[in-house]
Amino acid sequence: MSRLILHREPASHTCSQKEGVSGPTRNESARALLAKNFTSSKSHKSALKRRSFARPTDPAKLAQFRQLELMKLRQRASPLDPKHQSSAMPVDKRRFFKASLDGETSDLWIEKGLMTGKVFDLLALRFGISITATDSQKYQLLKVSDGAGHLVPLLYDKPFEDQVEDGGEVVLSIERASFI
C-alpha cells in the first residue's frame, strides 16, 4: 500500500510523463459524430410548424373537430386574470377562449361568472392598450360568430359566459363611427 501512495506523488518516482493527447479528445470526436448523424435543433423546430386543417362540413365530424380544438385550447390556455396565475381552479369553473388584437392571438381562460366589462379591462391590460375615456381611439370587444366570421358586439353589463361559448373567439377592435 505504501508503494501506491509513493507512486501517486510525481516527485517520488521516475515514470515517464504523458505529453498531452495528440489526436482529438473523446468529447470532440463524439460531438463531430453527433453533428454528422443528427440535424440541428433549429431546423427541427421549423419542421414542427402547426398545420391548419380545413373545418369539416359533416355535422358529426364538425362536432368532433370542435371538441378536439377545445381540448387543445385547454392545454395551451393561460389565465387572463393576474390573480389566478397560480390558481388551482377546477376546469369546470373556467371559460376558455381565444382573444386577438391586430393579428396577435392569445389562448386564455377566465373564471366563469365574470362580467364582460371586467374581461374587456383585463384584455386591454393584457394587450397593453389604454382604454381611458380621453383616448382618441376607443376599443370594443367583439365576438366572432361561428358561421361566416361575422363580428358581434358584446354587452359589457352581462356575464361573459352567457355571450361567448367555451372555445369561442373574441376580438378587440377600434370602434368605427357610424354615419347615418
Identify which of 128, 156, 127, 161 has the alpha carbon closest to the alpha carbon of residue 140: 156
115 contacts 100 by C-beta, under 8 angstroms: no
- Mind listing the pLDDT tens digit for each residue in 152-179? 999 999 999 999 999 999 999 887 655 4
Q: What percent of the chain has pLDDT over 70?
A: 70
DSSP state of 47: H
Is a pLDDT exceeding 80 seen at residue 128?
yes
- Mind listing the pLDDT tens digit for each residue in 21-74? 555 567 888 888 888 887 665 545 444 555 566 777 888 888 898 899 889 988
Is a pLDDT exceeding 50 seen at residue 127?
yes
Is a pLDDT exceeding 90 seen at residue 97?
yes
In the three-class reduction of DSSP (H, G, I as helix; E, B as strand; rest coil), residue 84 is classed as helix
120 contacts 171 by C-beta, under 8 angstroms: no
In the three-class reduction of DSSP (H, G, I as helix; E, B as strand; rest coil), residue 92 is classed as helix
Model pTM?
Answer: 0.62
- Between 120 and 55, where is the model more confident? 120
Determine the pLDDT at residue 32.
83
Q: Does domain 59-174 have CATH number 3.30.70.2660?
A: no
Compute the average pLDDT of residues 93-97: 92
- Let me know the angle formed at the C-alpha of 98 by 97 and 99, rounded to the nearest 5 degrees: 120
Determine the pLDDT at residue 55.
74
Could you state, in order of their start, the residue ranges of all structural domains in the chain? Answer: 59-174
Rounded distance between C-alpha atoms, residue 165 and residue 66, angstroms: 12
CB atoms within 10 A of CB 16: 5
Q: How far is CA 68 from each of CA 64, 72, 75, rounded to the nearest angstrom? A: 6, 6, 11
Interacting residues of 119 by C-beta distance below 8 A, sequence separation 6+: 80, 110, 141, 160
**Amino acid at residue number 81:** D
- Between 172 and 89, where is the model more confident? 172
